[in-house]
């Protein structure tokens, strides 16, 4: 229902005022257009994974290759668990054992086996994902102490790595 008000001693409705000023319908069209563009932009951002090769930390699409052992899934920095985590419960329900070849990853299914290659010294180790993390910006994986020793990275603390999926849980 249109509202009425008095303007220069005449009764005028909102619709009449909009047409008289000529700006309100254009402003409404502009707002609608901007709203549609925002919705379209957000819909384009709704993918669950970045395209392979879209940046240093981009995962490859699931099932991109049959030979997981040679396909790089992700690139980024690896750290390792601090001693204070020894004996704590991991996301899989296991107790963290620094002597096991395990790791934490944010999104890979628990139980996934991943080959981690240190890009500085080219050493590699295969670990099983049994925890969630890392929760430090820029890192893609946190390794157990045993895995860090295999990569000879304990002195450095954080090293650039690639991750290759070896096998996924059944």
Instruction: Report the DSSP beta bridge partners of residue 12.
Output: 5
Residue 58 has a pLDDT of 42
Q: What are the DSSP calls for 54-69, one per residue?
A: SSTTPPPPTTS-S-TT
Say how far apart CA 36 and CA 167 lie, in whole Å.
Answer: 42
- Measured N-to-C along each axis, helices 24-44 and 14-21 cross at an angle, to the nearest 10 degrees, of 90
Structure tokens at 39: 């919705």
CATH superfamily of 74-167: RlpA-like domain (2.40.40.10)
Q: Write down the domain spans for the chain.
A: 4-44, 74-167
pLDDT at 154: 82
Residue 153 near residue 80, CB atoms below 8 Å:
yes
What pLDDT, on the 0 to 100 scale, is given for residue 93?
94
Write out the chain's pLDDT in tens, 170 residues.
555 555 554 454 555 444 544 556 676 777 776 666 655 555 444 333 333 333 344 444 333 333 445 688 999 999 998 777 888 999 999 999 999 999 999 999 999 999 999 999 999 999 999 999 998 888 999 999 999 999 999 888 899 999 999 999 87
pTM, rounded to two decimals: 0.59
Distance CA 164, CA 141 (A): 12
């Amino acid at each position: 229902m249109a509202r009425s008000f008095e303007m220069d001693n005449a009764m005028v409705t909102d619709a009449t005022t909009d047409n008289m000023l000529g700006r309100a319908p254009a402003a409404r069209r502009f707002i609608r257009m901007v709203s549609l563009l925002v919705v379209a932009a957000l819909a384009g951002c709704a993918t669950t994974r970045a395209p392979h090769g879209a940046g240093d930390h981009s995962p490859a699409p699931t099932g991109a290759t049959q030979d997981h052992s040679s396909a790089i899934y992700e690139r980024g920095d690896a750290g390792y668990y601090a001693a204070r985590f020894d004996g704590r419960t991991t996301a899989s329900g296991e107790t963290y054992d620094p002597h096991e070849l395990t790791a934490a990853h944010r999104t890979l299914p628990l139980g996934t086996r991943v080959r981690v290659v240190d890009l500085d010294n080219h050493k590699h180790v295969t670990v099983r994902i049994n925890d969630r993390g890392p929760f430090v910006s820029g890192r893609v994986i946190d390794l157990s102490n045993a895995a860090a020793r295999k990569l000879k990275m304990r002195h450095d603390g954080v090293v650039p790595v690639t991750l290759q999926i070896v096998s996924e849980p059944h």
